[in-house]
Amino acid sequence: MAQVISDRRDIEFVMHEQLNAESLSKIHDGFADFNKKTIDLIISEAKNFAVKELLPANKDGDQQGCSLENGIVTTPDSFKRLFALFNEGEWLAPTEDPRWGGQGMPRTVASAAAEYFNGANYPFMMYPGLTQGAGHLVEHFGTKEQKDLYLKNMYTGKWCGTMLLTEPEAGSDVGALTTKAVPNGDGTYAIVGEKIFISGGDHDLAENIIHPVLARIEGAPAGTKGISLFLVPKFRVNPDGSPGEFNDVICTGIEHKMGIHGNSTCSLSLGSKGNCIGTLLGEENKGMKAMFLMMNAARLLVGFQGFACATTAYMYALDYARNRIQGKDLMEIMNPDAKGVPIIRHPDVRRQLMVMKTYVEGMRSLLYFVHYCSDMAKFAQSDKEKAKYQGFVEVLTPIAKGYVTDRAFEVCSQGMQVYGGYGFIEEYPMAQLLRDCRITLIYEGTNGIQAMDLLGRKLGLNKGKPIMDLFGEMQKTLAQAKEIDTIQGYAVKVEAVINKLAEVSIHMGQTAMSDKVLSAFANAHPFQDAAGDTVMAWMLLWRAVIAAQKLEKAKKKDKPFYQGIIKSLQFYTETMLPITLGRFAALMNTSGAAVEIEDNMFPS
Amino acid sequence: MKICVCVKHVPDTAATIKIDGETGFKDSEIKFVVNPYDEYGVEEAVKLKEKNGGEVVIVTVGKPEAAATIRSALAMGADRAILVTTDSQFLDASLTAKALKAAMEKDGLPDLIFTGKGSVDTESFQTQYRLAHSLGIPVVNEVSTLSVDGKKAVAELEVGGGDKQVIEMGLPCVIGATKGLNEPRYPKFPDIMKAKKKKIDEMTLADLGLDASAQGVTLEKLEPVPERTGAKMIEGSVEEQVTELIRILKQDEKVL
């Protein structure tokens, strides 16, 4: 097959033509080396590694999975070699500070590598991904001593990292956690508690694992206000940096899951023998806020995981549809001599492929844009600009996680449908993609939590300035699109939806502050769907503006590509935006049925 | 020690190639890579350099687009490159060898030359022999084990039936690398960044005093491999199946 995981041309389109990633080299000295040629070379090498090494180990990881025997967690055999190769290539911390062993790459550029890596084998990628995230916490909040002791070993993959939030009675409600931290009198704390659902919580890939742990210092207030963040290594670290005594972090079980079998999901018992020591990371009782630095990055990563499953499913389905011969052409149905045709000739299969194409393209543009905003939030020229881009990151994060993974799962399901019965058979890749994708809707804050974040926090953030700025950006795209004959008809339809989002946002914001607050939150997820649909429409319109402008002078080989982008916009505006308008109509009802129904009205 | 590695810019073997006209193909639609056998040569050269010091120079004869492929070889650890540009992907082996020789002579002859055992596009398996002959130095192809020590090289190659031939020769020499010689590395991220700053000297065939039209072999026509059809399952017991197979081979296909 021609391409796997991703459409390279579309990656280049988003990277260079939509976002002009090369321009980042001018705003920050550290990015000076990232010109177009270098970016393309990075994409080529990331793809090469993904296709040759990560992808072949994906099925193996699924089938062999992880095991726990005699207290030792074993990862799939093929993952050991992968992890060694991945670290030799120095891919673990591409966007982190070179002073601590990172590569200082713009996040925008790293998006392309992340897409190939995660699309090839995201259960594996969780080990380095969480390590980078945990390292980022140490870099941001750690004392000099903590940084010296941990950081370089984490960013080079010698040691791994995790995040320990969830407990049996504290999942979505993190504030209910009971893990305790008692001062030892020497600046360290004795940690005691039980954590569950810890991705990569214990394994055999690295000589040490560093756990950022949320716990409550004895006597601290209840709820999230009394939570502090601690660094708890699996093996205590000697002053010379070598791993020392076992730190009483015991893996008591691993979960048997629907998907991501290659990643060990552990129950960890901390200090069950009274020998677990941690050091405070950041300030006392400010742990929740600190942890959000990692959680926000992790939410974007989860959006990427879901999207990566979707793009991989799309490329497989497209290849299958072109090669699978089945059924006559509909126009030849009465002809007894007509031969079977590739299923891509069938209208319903084409429709499925178009659903996959439009979502995958829109999601790619959205996710890369959010990473572009992260780069700008850090390095834009003025503080005003930085604040604007930071606002975009915050408003778009729940959509990039919640909306994207909801749609990504649908895309994987469509991909399975294209394969017909073979899609349901484990011998083919669709079943695993669908299974692996499903967790992205749940972990790192369920998509319901994301929707509540969007409605409850992000809409009114900074008195609504970020959301207004976002509407401003959309207006710019609309103005450009209306100038172009070939797409102005679609632009008018997209504009209607954008205007509707503005109207419904105000309505939902007001309802959330009225006595109908519960009804508002019962409609938070549908609101996220409609807002996400609108952002997708904006992205598809933005892409079409570029494609329409370039089409006339395009090289012969680029013409179908640009025409395809405009077809995606046409398909989306004609088939999906009417549904979005329906969603908005439903939101204006803000139905109270779900909250009004008494518990005893459900079956007993 | 100066080592030259001859690298060819070839279509990715996973690509779907569409033939365009009689002798062309739509090369702008497909991805090109370092010829996989040449990667073993690059890896071996870089390993020798890491052990003994010296310099590794990539030498390529190909279309201007080959520069991107050369960057991948540079990211594996080679120091610099020479690109002799041509208009055609299908230069015949004798002209390719002449161009490689002229480029190396211009740059200063190396102590050791690597090629792949052949290229995956034209598969003529001649360039390394012609190059060595024109330089008057030894050549061994399909080398799967190599040691280089001072002024001599010892190469092992499989000769079939599980036997190995061991050949000792003086330097300089040409080594045709194949699978088993090593495991080509993936470029490290920092090396990818360094690769773009490394120098690629570009020159044309004419700059080297060569005439592109003076080819001994010219390409007449490209045709896609016909899809295999008409596979037939032979049913029945083993005895019946074998009898039927022999009948087909004798009577229908007339190969026995």
Residue B217 within any structural domain of the chain: no
| Confidence category of residue B222, pLDDT binned at 50, 70, 90 | confident
- CATH of residue B174: 3.40.50.620
What is the reported pLDDT for B85? 95
**Beta pairing class for B152-158 and B164-170:** antiparallel
- On whether both B178 and B236 belong to a single domain, the answer is no
Residues of B in contact with A44 (CB under 8 A): 68, 72
- On whether both B63 and B170 belong to a single domain, the answer is yes
What is the reported pLDDT for B254? 86
Query: pLDDT at residue B228 above 80?
Result: no
Q: Is the Cβ–Cβ distance between B25 and B224 less than 8 Å?
A: no
Q: Pull the structure tokens for residue A263.
A: 């990643």
Question: What is the phi/psi pair of residue A72, to 5°?
Answer: -110, 130
Looking at chain A, how many residues does it have?
604
- Looking at the complex, report in whole angstroms how far the Cα of residue A74 sits from the nearest Cα belonging to chain B: 26
End-to-end CA distance of chain A, in Å?
54
Residue carrying structure tokens 């000589």: A207
Alpha-carbon gap, residue A476 to A460, rounded angstroms: 22
pLDDT tens track for B168-192: 999 999 999 999 999 999 999 889 9
What is the reported pLDDT for B241? 92
Question: What is the phi/psi pair of residue B115, to 5°?
Answer: -130, 175
**Is the CB of A333 inside 8 Å of chain B's CB atoms?**
no
Query: By mean pLDDT, which of A91-100, A438-447, A568-577 is the weakest?
Result: A91-100
Task: List alpha helices for B56-108, DSSP H.
Answer: 66-75, 93-107
Half-sphere exposure of A84 (CA within 13 A, CB side): 6
What average pLDDT score do residues A68-81 get? 96
Q: Pull the structure tokens for residue A540.
A: 């598809």
Q: Which residues pair with B157 in a beta bridge?
A: B143, B165
**Complex-level ipTM beyond the 0.85 threshold:** no
The three-state DSSP-derived secondary structure of A388-414 is HHHHHHHHHHHHHHHHHHHHHHHHHHH
How would you label A497-509 residue by residue, b for 16+ Cβ within 10 Å and e otherwise?
bbebbeebbebbb
C-alpha R_g of chain B: 21
The three-state DSSP-derived secondary structure of A57-78 is HHHHHHHHCCEEECCEEECCHH
What average pLDDT score do residues B7-29 get? 84
**Is the CB of A40 inside 8 Å of chain B's CB atoms?**
yes
Whole-Å CA distances, B80 to A211, A548, B66, B172, B194: 44, 41, 14, 20, 11
CB atoms within 10 A of CB A390: 18
| pLDDT averaged over every residue in chain A | 96
| Confidence category of residue A557, pLDDT binned at 50, 70, 90 | confident
Among chain A residues, the shortest Cα distance to B196 is held by A38
| CA dihedral sign of residues B64, B65, B68, B74 | negative
What is the reported pLDDT for B150? 79
- On whether both B44 and B107 belong to a single domain, the answer is yes
Residues of A in contact with B16 (CB under 8 A): 1-2
Contact B15 A33 (CB under 8 A): no
Amino acid identity, position A308: A
Residue in A513, A482, A516 with CA at minimum distance from that of residue A593? A516
DSSP string, B187-234: PPHHHHHHHTTS-EEEEETGGGT--TT--SS------PPPPP----PP
Query: pLDDT at residue A466 above 90?
Result: yes
Residue B33 within any structural domain of the chain: yes
Alpha-carbon gap, residue A218 to A601, rounded angstroms: 43
Query: pLDDT at residue A358 above 60?
Result: yes
Query: Which residues of A are known catalytic residues?
Result: 444
What average pLDDT score do residues A153-170 get? 96
Q: Is the Cβ–Cβ distance between A212 and A161 less than 8 Å?
A: yes
CB atoms within 10 A of CB B108: 9
Query: By mean pLDDT, which of A288-292, B23-27, B95-99, B144-148 is the weakest?
Result: B23-27
**Is the CB of A322 inside 8 Å of chain B's CB atoms?**
no
Among chain A residues, the shortest Cα distance to B67 is held by A37
Q: Which residues pair with A217 in a beta bridge?
A: A181
Angle ∠(A213,A218,A223) on CA atoms, nearest 5: 65
Contact B189 A555 (CB under 8 A): no
What is the reported pLDDT for B70? 95
Residue B248 within any structural domain of the chain: yes
Query: pLDDT at residue A1 above 60?
Result: no
- On whether both B121 and B188 belong to a single domain, the answer is yes
- Looking at the complex, report in whole angstroms how far the Cα of residue A2 sits from the nearest Cα belonging to chain B: 5
Q: Which residues pair with A228 in a beta bridge?
A: A215
- On whether both B21 and B145 belong to a single domain, the answer is yes
- On whether both B87 and B159 belong to a single domain, the answer is yes
Contact A45 B14 (CB under 8 A): no
Contact A41 B14 (CB under 8 A): no
Question: What is the phi/psi pair of residue A7, to 5°?
Answer: -90, 105
**Is the CB of A323 inside 8 Å of chain B's CB atoms?**
no
Q: Is the Cβ–Cβ distance between A62 and A131 less than 8 Å?
A: no
What is the reported pLDDT for A498? 98
Residues of A in contact with B15 (CB under 8 A): 2
**Is the CB of A339 inside 8 Å of chain B's CB atoms?**
no
- On whether both B141 and B255 belong to a single domain, the answer is no
- On whether both B117 and B242 belong to a single domain, the answer is no
Q: At CB < 8 A and 24+ separation, what contacts does B142-147 make?
A: B142/B117, B142/B176, B142/B178, B143/B117, B143/B175, B143/B176, B143/B177, B143/B178, B143/B181, B144/B178, B144/B179, B144/B180, B144/B181, B145/B180, B145/B181, B146/B44, B146/B175, B146/B181
- On whether both B139 and B233 belong to a single domain, the answer is no
Query: pLDDT at residue B98 above 70?
Result: yes
Q: Pull the structure tokens for residue A493.
A: 């339809």
- Looking at the complex, report in whole angstroms how far the Cα of residue B237 sits from the nearest Cα belonging to chain A: 29
**Secondary structure class of A230 (helix, strand, coil):** strand
Alpha-carbon gap, residue A470 to A466, rounded angstroms: 6
Alpha-carbon gap, residue A366 to A376, rounded angstroms: 15
What is the reported pLDDT for A463? 94
How many separate helices (H) and strands (E) can be counted in chain B?
Answer: 6, 13
Please name the member of A41, A103, A555 whose beta carbon is closest to the beta carbon of B195.
A41
pLDDT tens track for B186-216: 999 889 988 988 999 999 999 999 988 878 8
What average pLDDT score do residues A23-43 get? 92
What is the reported pLDDT for B159? 85
- Looking at the complex, report in whole angstroms how far the Cα of residue A39 sits from the nearest Cα belonging to chain B: 9
Alpha-carbon gap, residue A205 to A211, rounded angstroms: 15
Residue B82 within any structural domain of the chain: yes
Strand arrangement, sheet containing B152-158: B164-170, B152-158, B139-149, B174-177, B112-116, B2-6, B55-62, B80-85, B200-204
What average pLDDT score do residues A21-37 get? 93
- On whether both B11 and B108 belong to a single domain, the answer is yes
- Looking at the complex, report in whole angstroms how far the Cα of residue B204 sits from the nearest Cα belonging to chain A: 23
Residue B220 within any structural domain of the chain: no
Query: pLDDT at residue B146 above 60?
Result: yes
When divided into structural domains, chain B yields a total of: 2
Among chain A residues, the shortest Cα distance to B187 is held by A89
Q: Is the Cβ–Cβ distance between A223 and A175 less than 8 Å?
A: yes
**Is the CB of A486 inside 8 Å of chain B's CB atoms?**
no
The three-state DSSP-derived secondary structure of A295-361 is HHHHHHHHHHHHHHHHHHHHHHHHHHHHHCEEEECHHHCCCCCCCEEEHHHCHHHHHHHHHHHHHHH
Whole-Å CA distances, A17 to A22, A375, A543, A554, A569: 10, 17, 9, 13, 17
- On whether both B169 and B256 belong to a single domain, the answer is no
Query: pLDDT at residue A604 above 70?
Result: yes
Range of the domain at B94: 2-208
Residue B109 within any structural domain of the chain: yes
Alpha-carbon gap, residue A361 to A309, rounded angstroms: 13
pLDDT tens track for A301-351: 999 999 999 999 999 999 999 999 999 999 999 999 999 999 999 999 999
Q: Is the Cβ–Cβ distance between A499 and A580 less than 8 Å?
A: no
Angle ∠(A85,A132,A171) on CA atoms, nearest 5: 125
CB atoms within 10 A of CB A124: 27
**Is the CB of A122 inside 8 Å of chain B's CB atoms?**
no
What is the reported pLDDT for B214? 79
Element (H, E) at A159: strand A159-161
Query: pLDDT at residue B89 above 90?
Result: no
What is the reported pLDDT for B23? 83
Alpha-carbon gap, residue A570 to B242, rounded angstroms: 59
Q: At CB < 8 A and 24+ separation, what contacts does A469-473 make?
A: A469/A388, A469/A391, A469/A392, A470/A391, A470/A392, A470/A395, A470/A396, A471/A498, A471/A502, A473/A392, A473/A538
- On whether both B238 and B202 belong to a single domain, the answer is no
Alpha-carbon gap, residue A546 to A283, rounded angstroms: 47
What average pLDDT score do residues B67-93 get? 92
Query: pLDDT at residue A167 above 70?
Result: yes
- Alpha-carbon dihedral angle through residues A300, A304, A306, A312, given to the nearest 10 degrees: 180
> Phi-psi category of A476—alpha, beta or left, where left has phi over 0 and alpha has psi -120 to 50?
alpha
pLDDT tens track for A389-427: 999 999 999 999 999 999 999 999 999 999 999 999 999
Query: pLDDT at residue A8 above 80?
Result: yes
